[in-house]
Chain A
Amino acid sequence: MTYNMQNTLLYVEDLSVAYGDKVIIKDINLVEKDVIREGHITGQVIAVVGRSGRGKSTLFKALTGLVKPTSGKVLIANTQTGLDNDAKEVQEGDIGFVDQKYTLFRNKTVYETMLFALRRKEMTKAEKHTQIMQYLRDWGLENEKDQYPCELSGGQRQRTAVIEQIFCSGHYMVLDEPFSGLDVGNIEDVKKAFDLITASHEFNTIIYSTHDIELAVELADSIYVIGYPTIEGKRMDYGTIVKHFDMKELELAWKDYGLDHIEVVKQIKQVMLSS
């Protein structure tokens, strides 16, 4: 499968985050470029895996500009200017973020939540209504339209949170454990959503974390393993990228799940266990 890479979409350099004196993540470096495939619109799907407490959520908060990095920087493509490779430092609100707990506005119903997410879009009221109802139908939330978050199940809350960010965010979307707490059907829904998002614009980039390594290997074209590094024989106690699997290079991206994928799953698990 041939592809080539163009504009840099995400550039992270020497990123570290500390809470007080406690360094959580350090020395994070990564570059993700726009993947171009002939005849396809190909967005980017990036997975982040790692054992609990290694700093995945912390990394995501820094990526989305919700937490100021202690050092280093996060650059994203500035798509407003239309220039190639024009970068800007990320700011809160630039990147959509669905957190691990699927937080929503407690005082807004599903419908009101969607309407709020669309508040800046230049659409008429009727257009907004049509779009919202379309999504609610597709995602099986039609009957929950007028319910508040406290009246939704975990999976319904999560889907609401995802749609809300689809409506509001630009090309980037970060999802912290989007598959946890979902049933088989919902998992398919989220997968479909990934496909829809990545097929709708070249720049669209999904970054997600998961404890389900198979889902990482199946969906992502780039996988980062976050763990405690071992430097000079000593295990450190901050998280960093201990390994990067480029599924495009391995010729495993955009393919059906097969034996080669299982091999990668094994390797990832090995790396995770030793970090």
Chain B
Amino acid sequence: MKQLFTPFENVSKNTRLFIVLGWVVLLLGFWFVSSMGERHLFPSPQQVWQGFLELYNEGLVVHIGSSLLLCFSAIGIAIVISLVFSYLSTVPIIKPVAKTLSKLRYLPLTGITFYLAILISDARTMQVWVLVVFMSTYLTTSLLSMLNAIPQEEFDHARSLGCSRWEVLWEVVVKGRIDYVIDVIRQNLAIVWMMLVTVESILVAAGGLGFLIKNSDKFMNHGRIIALQIVILGVGLFIDFVLNYLRKAFFRYSKI
């Protein structure tokens, strides 16, 4: 028992499972108890379940699909842009451009939307590009720091094998770090996922989870809001899990 409270203590797998279960039970218990009385901050589990059913009947799955589609198209475009700039940042003349792109993450979202609104009229395209601009800056930042973390020895090793500089880039950075790129996407996913919901609720287009949230807001339906939050959290965690799983499954050497 004492070991559960000792720093750096290793515990068995079963014990770990018990600890997690304990916390979940505690959390659920707290939720039940705190939502019992007349006046309460959180809706009760029944209300949330009710909200979930309502959402489901209104086409929750379609909305999730719409959000995922938006998420993937934005990430797809953004990762291509960021990869091109990051890889080319190893070339001195492109380096400042890549660094600037990464610094642009301090730009406020409203500024970006304003200019994009002038260029793009379709709301859906607009959603995609707001996310792309936003994400590219974050992804580039992470990719640049991934590049910086590659030890000089790895480049020297490739050079000593007679690789030209472009081959070094291809072998060490592009091929040698694909698993890192997946992890960079995974780590930035939380930001996109959060932004995505916001963007969807500001620029209303084809529905999506953000749109649902906004709707529920209007009716002050607490059960619905919490149910939706749980769904969004769940979907996000699921993508996170899938990406991590893919990285480990496809890249045995990947020990990040």
Contact = CB atoms under 8 A, between A and B. Distances in A.
**Same complex origin of A and B:** yes
Contacts of B251: 107
A93 B154 contact: no
B207 to A, nearest CB: 41
Identify the interface centre among A105, A116, A150, A168: most chain B CB within 10 Å of its CB. A105
A107 B175 contact: yes
Nearest to B163: A93
Nearest to A151: B253
A106 B157 CA distance: 11
Contacts of A107: 175-176, 178-179, 251, 253
Contacts of B252: 148
Contacts of B240: none
Interface string B238-256: 0000000000000111010
Contact of A106 (B159, B162, B176): B176
A151 B251 CA distance: 13
A181 to B, nearest CB: 16
Contact of A93 (B151, B159, B255): B159
B160 A150 contact: no
Interface stretch (A78-86, A94-102, A196-204): A94-102
Contacts of B255: 150
| Chain B interface helix/strand/loop/mixed | helix
A93 B153 contact: no
A149 B162 CA distance: 20
A257 to B, nearest CB: 31
Given A103-B151, A103-B154, A148-B252, A66 B161 contact: no
A64 B160 contact: yes
B240 to A, nearest CB: 23
B146 interface: no
Contact of A117 (B151, B153, B161, B179): B161
A237 B136 CA distance: 47
B176 A97 contact: no
B156 interface: yes
Contacts of A96: 160-161
Given A103-B154, A107-B176, A120 B253 contact: no
A86 B238 CA distance: 64
Contacts of A164: 161
A104 B157 CA distance: 7
Given A103-B153, A149-B253, A97 B172 contact: no
B253 A93 contact: no
A23 B99 CA distance: 31
A104 B151 CA distance: 12
A93 B165 CA distance: 11
B77 interface: no
A57 B253 CA distance: 28
A168 B158 CA distance: 11
B253 A92 contact: no
B117 to A, nearest CB: 43
Identify the interface centre among B156, B162, B178: most chain A CB within 10 Å of its CB. B162
B247 to A, nearest CB: 13
A159 interface: no
Contact of A99 (B153, B162, B172, B178): B153
A165 interface: yes
Given A103-B153, A106-B176, A107-B176, A97 B160 contact: yes
A103 B156 contact: yes
A239 to B, nearest CB: 19
The 6 closest A-B pairs by CB, nearest first: A93-B162, A148-B253, A97-B160, A103-B157, A103-B153, A92-B159
Given A93-B162, A103-B157, A105-B171, 19 more contacts: A66-B160, A92-B160, A95-B160, A97-B156, A97-B157, A97-B160, A99-B153, A103-B153, A103-B156, A105-B172, A106-B154, A106-B253, A148-B253, A150-B253, A150-B255, A164-B161, A165-B160, A168-B162, A169-B160
21 contacts: A64-B160, A93-B159, A93-B161, A96-B161, A99-B156, A101-B153, A103-B151, A103-B153, A103-B154, A103-B157, A105-B158, A106-B154, A107-B175, A107-B178, A107-B179, A107-B253, A116-B161, A148-B252, A148-B253, A168-B162, A169-B160
